[in-house]
Structure 1
Amino acid sequence: MPYANDDDFKFFKTDAFKKYAEEEGLVDYLKTFLTEKKVEGIEKVLSQRTNHFTVLLEEVFKLQNVGAIIRTCDCFGLQNLHLIETDTKFKVSLKTTMGSAKWVDVNTYDSTKGAIETLKSKGYKLVATTPHTDMSIDDLPVDEPIALMFGNEKDGISDEAFEMADYKVKIPMHGFAESFNISVSAALSLHTLSTKLRKLPESEWKLSEEERKLIEAAWVCKSLDRHETIAKTFKK
């Protein structure tokens, strides 16, 4: 399959791609090279996509956990995931994410502070999960954009990330174990929050028209083996 890892997706995050996607008639032309079923599938998934929630992973060192969480984000309709990698560098492949890396935008950072400040500047409330708090994930308000933070498999999130969090919440547990596996924690948290979110008016959580058009263009291109070559025939 094309676009084997995140390096191959970088073009879709550039201003050059935005200009490319905005060329009048181009995306509609590219769609004619896809099956009707594929086009309908893209439109259906896009209609449920959101940037109201996102996930921030800090120094997660097991690739299978990163892959599982990207897949979970796709399943719950999240368009973006953020990855802090100061020591561990990942090649996020389609294989390890069961293809979901093709549809979820992975944004990388080289510092915790930089990642959190970027998300806060976009209006996100940062949420740390910890068993040592009274607030449950069920009580977390969803009327503001939320970024769920998860740390590495051994130590959890750093003290720096914990101190910068706007909320500290726990996932209710009733056994001897103190915490869930990180990918399970992400799935449980997103299930709880997504259920609450989709009870809100759609205007509060769905993609803007501008976001939708840009993502649609990227997905159409990623669904074609040689979109650049096909685009050249359109320009002629």
Structure 2
Amino acid sequence: MDRSMVEEIAGKEELIELSAYLSRFVTVERLKKMEKILQWRTRYLTIALEDIFQSHNASAVLRSCEGLGIQDVHIIENTNAYKVSKDIALGADQWLTLYRYNRKDNLNSQRAVDFLRSEGYRLVATVPPSGNTCLLDNFSLEKGKVALFIGTELNGLSETILKEADEFLTIPMYGFTESFNLSVSAAIILHHLSMKLRRQNIAWELTEEEKLRIKILWLMTSVSHGELLVKQFLKERRK
């Protein structure tokens, strides 16, 4: 789905009218569910997956993000292209905002870093336990928005991410095994932090305009020929 059509709409009045127009094509129950879910969505916490070569792992992370209300996922593809595993994601990707960094020059990790910094995120690298890492239970959400970087199970995160990271986060381990599966690690961290976030006095919710834009994208996904309907609406309105 081409979300650029919605991103390019500058006026709130036009967004409201477009939302009302598309809402005519879905049931009242569907609309109520969207409104309810939007109240729990957040961009305070996001995740960046770097060069994940097993698509089922990345797809499982998408499913966890959607279920926990994490709206944005950043996918870095330097050497490994990502394709959604539909049997694993179970449609989760259509409700998320996916940012993909996949140019052919192998500088995609730096692009993700630069973009997330420009959006005001703290860059947090998830790594195995060591002396300079913060344990999950001790991690503070009060210092600002968080972008969690997760790398491959074989090689972990790239030197670019490790060099640029503001903080290092780890899951405490109590057995002989030194780490969890990638998707399990992501689910543990995201569940812990998202639950903690919603219990604290932090402005984690989406703005009203963000909710409106996401709702329009969801409506486009939910109706037949959603993109065509949006194009026709904008063409008629802007005559």
Structure-2-length-normalised TM-score:
0.87
> Are the equivalent residues in 1 in contact too, given 2:6–2:217 (CA < 8 A)?
no
> Are the equivalent residues in 2 in contact too, given 1:63–1:96 (CA < 8 A)?
no
Whole-Å Cα distance in 2 between the matches of residues 87 and 228 of structure 1? 31
> Are the equivalent residues in 2 in contact too, given 1:55–1:82 (CA < 8 A)?
yes
For residues 19-52 of structure 1, give each alpha carbon's deviation from its aligned partner in whole angstroms, at most 9, with x where no partner exists.
6993552321221211111111110110100000
> Are the equivalent residues in 2 in contact too, given 1:49–1:207 (CA < 8 A)?
yes
Number of the residue aligned with 2:100? 108
Query: Structure 1 residue 124 and structure 2 residue 116: aligned?
Result: no
Compared CA separation, residues 221 and 120, structure 1 to 2 (3 A): same
In the alignment of these two chains, the number of paired residues is: 226
For residues 80-137 of structure 1, give each alpha carbon's deviation from its aligned partner in whole angstroms, at most 9, with x where no partner exists.
0001101111233644411100001110114111111110111111111222245201
Q: Which moved more, 1:17-26 or 1:72-81?
A: 17-26
> Are the equivalent residues in 2 in contact too, given 1:71–1:101 (CA < 8 A)?
yes
Q: Secondary structure at the match of 2:124?
A: strand
> Are the equivalent residues in 2 in contact too, given 1:93–1:101 (CA < 8 A)?
no
Number of the residue aligned with 1:6? none
Whole-Å Cα distance in 2 between the matches of residues 226 and 20 of structure 1? 24
Identity across the alignment (%): 35
Q: CA RMSD in A?
A: 2.2
Whole-Å Cα distance in 2 between the matches of residues 151 and 182 of structure 1? 8
Number of the residue aligned with 2:192? 192
1:188 maps to a residue whose letter is I
Number of the residue aligned with 1:63? 55
Whole-Å Cα distance in 2 between the matches of residues 91 and 124 of structure 1? 26
> Are the equivalent residues in 2 in contact too, given 1:94–1:102 (CA < 8 A)?
no
Query: Structure 1 residue 42 and structure 2 residue 34: aligned?
Result: yes
> Are the equivalent residues in 2 in contact too, given 1:70–1:81 (CA < 8 A)?
yes
> Are the equivalent residues in 1 in contact too, given 2:52–2:151 (CA < 8 A)?
yes
Compared CA separation, residues 62 and 119, structure 1 to 2 (3 A): same
Instruction: After TM superposition, list the pairs within 5 Å mapping 1:18-167 onto structure 2.
Output: 18=9, 22-23=14-15, 25-92=17-84, 94-110=86-102, 111-130=108-127, 131-133=129-131, 134-143=133-142, 144-167=144-167
Compared CA separation, residues 164 and 230, structure 1 to 2 (3 A): closer
Whole-Å Cα distance in 2 between the matches of residues 68 and 179 of structure 1? 17
1:68 maps to a residue whose letter is A
Quote the offset at 1:172 in angstroms.
Answer: 1.2
Whole-Å Cα distance in 1 between the matches of residues 7 and 136 of structure 2? 40
Whole-Å Cα distance in 1 between the matches of residues 233 and 120 of structure 2? 41
Q: Which moved more, 1:93-102 or 1:162-171?
A: 93-102
Query: Structure 1 residue 13 and structure 2 residue 4: aligned?
Result: yes
Whole-Å Cα distance in 2 between the matches of residues 53 and 105 of structure 1? 13
